[in-house]
Amino acid sequence: MKLILRFLKPHWKLFVITVILLILDVMGALFIPTLAAQMLNLGTSGSSFTQMWHVGVQMAVISVISGICAIIGGYTCAALAARIGKDMRSAIYKKSLKLWFNSDKELITYQLLADGIRGAYGQIPSDF
């Protein structure tokens, strides 16, 4: 957990925004069935159409807000994951350069890149 928090600290604002958007999305998704039940109760009890209309408008507004929060939350979550992943890859690369320090640094760097590509694709592409 400490390791992940080290990479999360520089992006704490984006993390807080993501969590808030997620909470708003879940609250909206959980409140819609309550409004649907309220609308059914109003319909079966013989209430006026305007009362049902108000509950329907509330349901529509909450659905739109929840949907917007879900879309923006998904974007911020992806952006946060990309930034943390970039920082982690950079830290791993810097650490690997320290571990594999040699006087011929370019050869070692190329070898690390070639090993990574070979591991991902099974072979080095001909244009590499």
Domain that holds residue 28: 2-87
Q: How many domains does the chain have?
A: 1
- pLDDT score recorded for residue 128: 45
DSSP 67-88: HHHHHHHHHHHHHHHHHHHHHH
Q: What is the pLDDT of residue 47?
A: 83
| Domain assignment of residue 80, yes or no | yes
pLDDT tens digits, 35-94:
999 999 988 888 888 999 999 999 999 999 999 999 999 999 999 999 999 999 888 888
pLDDT-based confidence at residue 115 (cuts at 50, 70, 90)? low
pLDDT digits (tens, 9 = 90+) for 6-38: 889 999 999 999 999 999 999 999 999 999 999
Question: How far apart, in whole angstroms, are the C-alpha atoms of residue 128 and residue 124?
Answer: 7
The verdict on residue 73 lying in a domain is yes
Is 82 a member of any domain? yes
Residue at 8 is within a domain: yes
Let me know how long the chain is: 128
